[in-house]
Each structure stands twice: as structure tokens, then as C-alpha cells.
Amino acid sequence: MTATTLESVTAEAARVITDITGVVLPEKKPLADIHLLDDLDIDSLSLVEVVVAIEEEFEIKIDDSETKTLTTLGQVGQLVLQRTQDK
């Protein structure tokens, strides 16, 4: 996938997350503010699956140390956008 804007990358990352975990995104919260643990109940094992799927979808690499800092969809989107622009 070619990433163009933070909003489109975040939306695509959200789609990947829902596909992998089956969670439903809260409708009344801005996408970027959705918390992976508090709002989506994604544990560390699920987060690993999500990161692998995002790496494959966007053809990027996310370091393990960076994975630990991802707490919101907005942070996921920012990291993905940064990685795709660095290619």
C-alpha cells in the first residue's frame, strides 16, 4: 500500500487491526485517539500479531523497541507514515 496522509495510513492500520483481532472500533472517538489496550483490549501477544500484519501490509519493518511504545492508533499511523516515507 502507498501511504499518502496520516489519516489514510491510520485508517488502513485500523482496518488491519480489526481484521486481525476482530475488535470493533469505538464510533464516538477520533480514530487517532483510540487506545490499543484501553479501547481495543489488545494484549502484548495480539500486538505482536498486529505489528507483523502492519509490516506486511505496508512493507516496512518495526523494531521491537518501537512496538512497546505504540499505545494509540495515531501513534501506529505516525510510525507507519514515517517508515513509508523513509523508503
The per-residue pLDDT for range 39-49, each reduced to its tens digit, is 999 988 899 99
Which one-letter DSSP state was computed for residue 29? S
Backbone angles phi, psi at 43, to 5 degrees: -85, 180
* Residues with catalytic roles: 43
Q: What is the pLDDT of residue 74?
A: 96
Mean pLDDT confidence for 70-74: 95
Q: What is the pLDDT of residue 86?
A: 77
Global confidence as pTM: 0.90
The per-residue pLDDT for range 14-67, each reduced to its tens digit, is 999 999 999 999 989 999 999 999 999 998 889 999 999 999 999 999 999 999
Helix (H, G, I), strand (E, B) or coil at 34: coil
pLDDT band at 85 (very low <50, low <70, confident <90, very high): confident
List 35's β-bridge partners, or say none.
72
